[in-house]
Amino acid sequence: MRNLHTPKNEDADEIIIAPQAQEHAGISQPALSQPEQAAEINTKKDHQRSHSHSTLSKAPSPATAVNSISAATRTARASHQFGRFMRVLPALFVLCSLRLIAPHPSIEIYRQSLLKKTMVFQNTASCPFQNATESLIINSENSWSINANAWVWRNDNHSEPLRIPKPKRRPAITERFDEATRNETTVVLYGSSHLRALYFHFVRLHRGEQLNVALEDKVRLVASGTIPFSIKCDPDKSGWKSGNYGVDLPNCGPPKSRVVEELGPGVAIGFKTFLHTPDADDLFLEFLRDNNLRHPTVLMFDIGVWGARGNRTGSNRTRQIMSYEQEIEYYLDWIYTSFPSSLKVFIRDTNTSEQERAIIEKYLRGVVMNDERSFIWRKDLLVKNKVRRIPCGHGCEGPLLHVMAIRFFKFLHTLSPSGCSSE
């Protein structure tokens, strides 16, 4: 039987069945007399008036009702928006992670455009470049020590030590450059005075001279300009700090370049100043073309030691002020466009600000990581782990650069036909 309304008496355990429910249930009601019926009707009317008055007294005012509805609506909306945010929160974490890991879109596009320019030359080297670069790898756990006769360097805990004799203590190390190249591998260096200091050690190692011996002027004088310290070029005589070398060629003269006859017929070096120096870069290409070195086997660069030219101006091509990123893009594009078939060694130096190093690293990694014909040589790791008592001159000239010279000669020997595998 369906119970339509069964209110419970709070003061007793019995269930009181409403009259309407009794009627539906078929329970008969006792007959009332006429006075009783009149009293019953009056009682119902009083109950209805009391219920109506109670309801009206409890009803809120229109303003209160509106405010209550608005507050409830705002709460509901806020709850809904928070729920939507929580649903998309995992996706936001994923996107942020990808943003941190993936290269910047503009750098990725830039990298792809450079790789397309060099893709046709990917298999033209006489030896696999990635095998040869094992001689250039410098591990982060490399270490230095000193004994009575030599500075001792280990690339890691398991490698054989490389001893650099101290001057006037033991005979110098001799490694013939022409034996490493068999005069079949051409090498071009293009960089700052730091790269020039490494070239000095190439010459000393080739001759079997002590690592601090003075070299003749024709070897040393590879300068940033042919009119040094002129008032119009460098009024403060501060060199790279305020000079216009490589930018204002009429007043500074072009940076010097030379064929390094001391190392053989296929070796040259040119001085590179700031990142964006298109006029000087074109002159260097012309110099290489005149000496049959336009497309060398190996190219070595140091990037950003002088930094960006900033507000320095010269010809029409350098009137526009460029950002550091724009100058980096220009220089890397010039390298990959001008030397598509060459094996490229980029020296990661330490003579830049932390911000500049981060920008250089970002662009170099974006270009080099998928190009098997390019390599970043970690000179910075040698400097970082150097013992304080080991001498470190300009560009860290001394035992450190002598280690790099020995490793580079070994790298060249691997590239030469006699060092190639049969594959």
* Token pair listed for 61: 């005012």
Mean pLDDT of 126-146: 80
Mean pLDDT of 211-238: 87
Q: What is the pTM of this model?
A: 0.70
Query: What pLDDT does residue 178 have?
Result: 81
Q: pLDDT for 12-48, tens place per residue?
A: 333 333 444 344 334 344 444 454 455 555 555 454 5
Q: In terms of Cα–Cα distance, which of 266, 248, 269, 247 is closest to 257?
A: 269
Res. 299: pLDDT tops 80: yes
Q: How far apart are CA 234 and CA 236, in angstroms?
A: 6
Res. 5: pLDDT tops 60: no
Query: What pLDDT does residue 129 have?
Result: 67
Mean pLDDT of 275-279: 95
Spatial neighbors of 346 by CB under 8 A, at least 6 apart, are 301, 302, 303, 364, 368, 374, 375, 376, 377
Q: List the chain domain ranges.
A: 106-419
Q: How far apart are CA 382 and CA 400, in angstroms?
A: 7
Mean pLDDT of 367-389: 88
Query: What pLDDT does residue 377 have?
Result: 94
Query: What pLDDT does residue 106 have?
Result: 57
Res. 101: pLDDT tops 50: no
- Helices 278-290 & 324-338 angle (0-180, nearest 10): 20
**First vs last Cα of the chain: how many Å apart?**
96
Kindly calculate the radius of gyration of the chain based on its CA atoms and give it in whole angstroms.
Answer: 42
Q: Which residue has the higher pLDDT, 403 or 234?
A: 403
Q: In terms of Cα–Cα distance, which of 308, 301, 311, 393 is closest to 349?
A: 301
Res. 125: pLDDT tops 50: no
Query: What pLDDT does residue 87 have?
Result: 62
Res. 63: pLDDT tops 50: no
Task: Please tell me the number of Cα atoms within 13 Å of 367 on its side-chain side.
Answer: 29
* Average pLDDT of the chain, as a whole number: 76
Mean pLDDT of 39-58: 48
Query: What pLDDT does residue 116 have?
Result: 55
* Residue 318 DSSP class: G
* Residue 192 DSSP class: -
Instruction: Give the three-class secondary structure for 86.
Output: helix
Res. 193: pLDDT tops 80: yes
Run of H or E including 363: helix 354-368
Run of H or E including 299: strand 298-302
CB 175 within 8 A of CB 406: yes
Mean pLDDT of 142-154: 92
Q: pLDDT for 226-268, tens place per residue?
A: 887 788 898 888 787 888 999 999 999 999 999 999 998 899 9
